[in-house]
Amino acid sequence: MRITNFALLILMSGLSGPVLAETTADQIRKSTVAFLESFASEQAAEGYNVSFKPGSIDSRLALAECAQPLNVEFSGDPWKSTSPSIQVACEGARPWRMFVTASVSIRGPALVAARPLTRGERITSDLLSQQSVEVNASRRGVMTATDQAIGMQVRRAVNAGSLITPDMLSAPNAVERGDHVIITAKTGGFSVRSRGKALASASIGEQVLVENLRSSRTIKASVVAPGQVEIPM
């Protein structure tokens, strides 16, 4: 029995199965660039200038076809790294994900010391100025608004012109050791007040040991305001 070339071609095609569509390296690169462009546009509206360069992707890469737009997101914090990782994923019937590197620079205003700052000094507006810096070059973060720093206390000496980072400042003590304080005991809408003496120093939100001056009992309370502590009943 003779088989024509055409019939043989059909037979061989059926044996080899259908040719599957693929997601190419170029498609992944374009999706990554579109994501970074969108991020840059969003930050521009907030006063930040973002420049970026996506990392190289092997041109031979071919992944399963994605029936829907690729999902692209940062897998690392772009505000704390100039080389954040980006995840590209397909959530379709044949899901996959991969990671792409990129160089990202975010420039914008940040707080710097207007003059040398000494340890323990309380921050006021005249001690701060703003400069345009590469915000994400500091792994320790930056402070961008003066109200984030005013009233805080300098933890260590800071040189003039140095970038102000959150770890340089701490909340001042709202209660000092030996201070007389108001103790409020609360339960539901009912509260009882008494006078006490702080046995240690603490800032708002911290716990401190307090001696109740009426009962002479020592209790642990939370500092809620300067000179005021609170305990649950």
Domain-embedded: residue 65 = yes
Answer yes or no: is pLDDT of 1 > 90: no
Are 50 and 75 contained in the same domain? yes
At residue 117, the pLDDT reads: 95
Are 31 and 49 contained in the same domain? yes
Answer yes or no: is pLDDT of 18 > 60: no
Q: Above pLDDT 70, what percent of the chain?
A: 91
Mean pLDDT of 148-154: 91
Mean pLDDT of 160-177: 91
Tell me the one-letter amino acid at 93.
A
Mean pLDDT of 168-178: 90
Domain-embedded: residue 147 = yes
Domain harbouring 116, CATH code: 3.90.1210.10
Are 101 and 113 contained in the same domain? no
What range defines the domain where residue 130 resides?
107-170
Domain-embedded: residue 4 = no
Mean pLDDT of 218-226: 92
Domain harbouring 207, CATH code: 2.30.30.760
Domain-embedded: residue 2 = no
Mean pLDDT of 53-72: 89
Domain-embedded: residue 47 = yes
pLDDT one-digit tens code per residue, 192-219 = 999 999 999 998 889 999 999 999 999 9
Answer yes or no: is pLDDT of 99 > 90: yes
Average pLDDT, the chain: 87
Domain-embedded: residue 7 = no
Domain-embedded: residue 71 = yes
Q: Which residue has the tokens 């907030």?
A: 46
Domain-embedded: residue 154 = yes
Mean pLDDT of 214-226: 92
Answer yes or no: is pLDDT of 15 > 50: no
Answer yes or no: is pLDDT of 121 > 70: yes
At residue 21, the pLDDT reads: 60
Mean pLDDT of 110-122: 93
**Domain end marker among 91, 106, 121:** 106
Per-residue pLDDT band for 145 (boundaries 50, 70, 90) equals confident
At residue 140, the pLDDT reads: 85
Nearest-angstrom CA–CA distance, 205 and 188: 20
126 token code pair: 């005249």
Please state the domain count of the chain: 3
